[in-house]
Amino acid sequence: MTTIQLPRPGRRRPGTGRRSPLEGGPLAYAVLIGATVLFVFPFYWTLVGASRTNAEMSSASPALTPGPNLFHNIGEALQQAAIGTALVNSLIVACTVTLGVVLSSTLAGFAFAKLRFRGRSLLLAVTVGTMMIPPQLGVIPLFMVIVKMDLQNKLPSVILPSLVSAFGVFFMRQFLIQALPDELIEAARVDGASSLRIFWSIVLPVARPGMAVLGMLTFMATWNDFFWPIVALSSQNPTVQVALRSLGQGYVQDQSIVMAGTLIGTLPVLVVFALLGRQIVGGIMQGAVKG
Amino acid sequence: MAITTTTRSPRPAAPAAERRPRARRASRAAPYGYLAPFFVLFAAFGLFPLLYTAYVSLHRVELQTSQQMDWVGFQNYTRLLEDPFFWNALRNTFTIGVLSTVPQLVMALGLAHLLNYKLRGRTFFRVAMLMPYATSVAAATLVFAQLFGRDYGLLNWALSSVGLNPVDWQADTWASQIGVSAVVTWRWTGYNALIYLAGMQAIPHELYESAAMDGASRWKQFLHVTVPGLRPTIIFTVVVSTIGATQLFGEPLLYEGNAGGGISHQYQTLGLYMYEQGWSFFHLGRAAAVAWVMFLLIVLLALANAAIAARRNRTDR
């Protein structure tokens, strides 16, 4: 993540403009480094808090560097706030949801991008139109449905409603419109390939980069989802965010343990981010141009 | 399941004339097979709850007996309009929305401009800026609540060590709203900067060259080339962050850990108010009414946005 990538040749040179973009001066670097410090500091502060004692955190002159208590505090957090269960639960939920969203979005996105059928524009309008409406507004009926299905406090209650995503469908549609040439499908059809076969051996390989980006974004969003999980689950069987909420509600008085819980709850996404940060940045910027 | 039944391929041995109509029927049904997994779940867990919220809002529904609904007409709405805490939450949603959205987007625009320069360590800066976006609302708010602590928070320690008076970041209305907005701003500035950066890279370089030849300073270039070129992107981010601001929930909930939004509800947002009605006071019907009001608010904002964009376009031509 700290590796400095050289700009790929030929990518940033638009035809006639021989001149490279403006060189950044010392002031630009100073501002950017300052901003980076602000963006990164809360992570550092979590580590400091998580590795100190409660007494050290509530003193008139706070400690500014990490201390020796990290593992003790993490152990306490695992015990007091069910963070261990929460990590496993979040992993199950996030993986299942990611798989479901990527698959269903690729299928539907392909249909919207490349197939003609009756009701296409209406269905697409419904999908895009609801993309902007926050799902938070539907939690009350959703809660009633979950109670009726007797799924309260069980993981399916947070998995089922997230398995599909209107944004995902739109994202894959935009991706496939550009990435998948019509001629490829036509040729396969002339060769007598079945619809399923076309999807499996032509669409899927082409869609893979888009699916990867959508998968990363979905995993992070699901891991961090807050409103619905705290409504549907309880602190007995929590996801990470539900466990963090109980930490924040003051069930645990010791602030350094709260910080330790926060640290391990955030660590998995940070690892994903450290490994794939560049791709995630690329995905967001691509989505911005196309979206 | 739908896919396998609608896309079963005909046996290859069948003569062409017989194969055609069946294959055609199959390919006519196939698109719906692709759409089925998405739309079945989407209808059940996406569309239905949104629409059904309106119906629920006309009933008395208690949290513990959520299967029992008694028709009350518009009573939930009239109660809402008579509740001073509802108006308080609406006002807070607006002020926190402004406090978090405006600085966020302005800073994002500035950072994107800098990131668009030729830089060493471009990728490093971009990844670092996006890191807050990867953290959850809950984690971010817990850490910021620490930083903004009244007695032992780092911020007040820093203020008093340079001789300034410490601020009560919880009890004071403006200070607490700034604290909540700080979490939002921290999490989303980098994300928006990247969106702007993507938009800036799509602006043809020749525009800058001809502006430079006309003697425009860098600041003038920014105002007269970058900003107009970014207009669609800016509108997009304004719409998305405004909608996000109307929904603000996790930050004010975890700032002090209660659904009231502070000792005198000084930073309770509409989202938090809705949660309090439903899950602290057990009135799901009233919570549904709040949800529906929030939905109307979003529709209004979207219409206002579209109108502003349309007028801008007209005056330009």
pLDDT category of residue A36 using cuts at 50, 70 and 90:
very high
- The percentage of chain A sitting over the pLDDT mark of 90, rounded to a whole number, equals 55
Residue in A29, A59, A115 nearest the CB of B31: A115
CA A222/CA A84 separation, integer angstroms: 18
pLDDT at residue number B136: 93
pLDDT at residue number B56: 94
**Which positions of chain B have pLDDT values less than 70?**
1-27, 315-317
Which residue is closest to A105 within chain B, CA to CA? B38
- Segment A167-179 shows an average pLDDT of 93
Q: Which chain A positions have a beta carbon within 8 Å of B291's beta carbon?
A: 136-140
Q: Which chain A positions have a beta carbon within 8 Å of B140's beta carbon?
A: 42
Which residue is closest to A130 within chain B, CA to CA? B47
pLDDT at residue number A112: 95
pLDDT at residue number A288: 62
pLDDT at residue number B306: 82
Round the average pLDDT of chain A to a whole number and report it: 86
- Structure tokens belonging to residue A24: 């950044």
Q: Which residue type sits at B214?
A: D
- Segment A120-145 shows an average pLDDT of 89
Residue in A60, A133, A192 nearest the CB of B50: A133
> What interhelical angle do B84-115 and B231-246 show, nearest 10?
150
* A247: pLDDT strictly greater than 90: no
CA A82/CA A236 separation, integer angstroms: 8
- Structure tokens belonging to residue B14: 């069948």
What phi-psi label fits residue B135: left (phi over 0), alpha (psi between -120 and 50 degrees) or beta? beta
pLDDT at residue number B212: 86
Q: Which chain B positions have a beta carbon within 8 Å of A46's beta carbon?
A: 139, 143
pLDDT at residue number A289: 55
> pLDDT tens digits, residue range B248-272?
999 999 999 888 999 999 999 999 9
Say if residue A118 is exposed, middle or buried (CB neighbours under 10 Å; 0-12, 13-18, 19+): exposed
CA A227/CA B226 separation, integer angstroms: 37
> pLDDT tens digits, residue range B79-112?
999 999 999 999 999 999 999 999 999 999 999 9
Q: Which of B24, B127, B270 to mutate to test the interface with A (most CBs of A within 10 A)?
A: B127
pLDDT at residue number A13: 40
Ranges for all domains in chain B classified under CATH 1.10.3720.10: 76-316
* A8: pLDDT strictly greater than 60: no
Say if residue A93 is exposed, middle or buried (CB neighbours under 10 Å; 0-12, 13-18, 19+): buried
Which secondary-structure segment (H or E) carries B60?
strand B59-60
Question: In order of start, what are the domains of chain A with their CATH numbers?
Answer: 99-236+267-290 (1.10.3720.10)
DSSP state of A160: G
- Segment A257-269 shows an average pLDDT of 91
Contact criterion met (CB < 8 Å) for A281 and B41: no
Q: Which chain A positions have a beta carbon within 8 Å of B288's beta carbon?
A: 140-141
Distances (CA, A) of B115 to A24, B17, B234, B236: 9, 62, 17, 20
pLDDT at residue number A63: 80
> What interhelical angle do A83-114 and A70-80 show, nearest 10?
80
Contact criterion met (CB < 8 Å) for A32 and B119: yes
Task: Give how far A162 is from chain B: nearest CA, Å.
Answer: 8
CA A109/CA A177 separation, integer angstroms: 9
- Segment A192-213 shows an average pLDDT of 90
Q: Which chain A positions have a beta carbon within 8 Å of B37's beta carbon?
A: 103-104, 107-108, 164
Structural domain B76-316, CATH architecture = Orthogonal Bundle (1.10)
- Segment A132-140 shows an average pLDDT of 86
* A291: pLDDT strictly greater than 50: no
3-state secondary structure of B70: strand
Question: What DSSP string describes A110-158?
Answer: HHHHH---TTHHHHHHHHHHHHTS-GGGGHHHHHHHHHHTT-TTSTHHH
pLDDT at residue number B20: 52
Residue in B67, B134, B257 nearest the CB of A248: B257
- Segment A99-115 shows an average pLDDT of 95
